[in-house]
């Protein structure tokens, strides 16, 4: 899958362990503007560490948006929770490329992967500071479920989408 933005081409592909550093850099850049709005533990869990990114790569299917120069400019992770439900986690795109379609392509890749696994429902969790992300998810069919949990001292809101 190729995305054209600002005269660059981006390919969406499954991530490998070789992508760990680029995923960490992408997450750090994407969430830096929100650091002050997060508790320290919530922020660290969001941007991951060298160890936790490898754990995510083993436990979940991770997709990356990659330029021709192999720069990772976006990422998303997904996994089947059970036979009918999938979960999304860790979506990010570099701020300088917001609005170029990277997030939409990443979301479509993850949703297609979960649908292939038989999932008919997808959930994701997000925090209140991520208003732009919440609008994006709502635009793509996700609705607040009303379920809120504690995320290292912050409210974490669940969003749900039923697949066709």
C-alpha distances out from residue 6 to 71, 98, 102, 105, Å: 15, 11, 12, 16
pLDDT tens column, 63-77? 999 999 999 999 999
Side-chain-side CA neighbours of 71 within 13 Å: the count stands at 9
Q: Which residues are CB-neighbours of 113 under 8 A, at least 6 positions away?
A: 61, 63, 78
CA distances from 69 to 6, 8, 10, 72, 98 (A): 14, 10, 10, 9, 19
Residue 122 has pLDDT above 60, yes or no: yes
Rounded distance between C-alpha atoms, residue 118 and residue 109, angstroms: 14
Q: How many CB atoms lie within 10 A of CB 109?
A: 20
Gap between the Cα atoms of 44 and 42, Å rounded: 6
**Domain 2-162 belongs in CATH node 3.20.20.70:** no
**pLDDT, tens digit (0-9, with 9 covering 90-100), for 14-52:** 999 999 999 999 999 999 999 999 999 999 999 999 999
The answer, yes or no, to whether residue 1 has pLDDT greater than 60, is: no
Q: How confident is the model at residue 4 (pLDDT cuts 50, 70, 90)?
A: very low
N-terminal to C-terminal alpha carbon distance within the chain? 22
């Amino acid at each position: 899958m190729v995305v054209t933005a600002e005269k660059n081409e981006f390919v969406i592909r499954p991530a490998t362990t070789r992508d760990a550093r680029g995923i960490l850099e992408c997450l750090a850049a994407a969430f830096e503007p929100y650091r002050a709005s997060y508790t320290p533990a919530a922020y660290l869990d969001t941007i991951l560490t060298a160890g936790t990114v490898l754990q995510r790569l083993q436990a979940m299917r991770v997709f990356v948006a990659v330029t021709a120069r192999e720069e990772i400019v976006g990422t998303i992770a997904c996994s089947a929770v059970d036979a009918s439900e999938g979960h999304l986690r860790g979506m990010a795109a570099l701020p300088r490329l917001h609005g170029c379609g990277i997030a939409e392509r990443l979301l479509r890749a993850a949703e297609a992967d979960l649908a292939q696994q038989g999932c008919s429902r997808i959930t994701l969790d997000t925090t209140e500071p991520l208003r732009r992300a919440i609008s994006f998810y709502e635009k793509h069919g996700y609705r607040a479920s009303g379920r809120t949990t504690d995320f290292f001292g912050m409210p974490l809101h669940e969003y749900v989408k039923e697949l066709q």
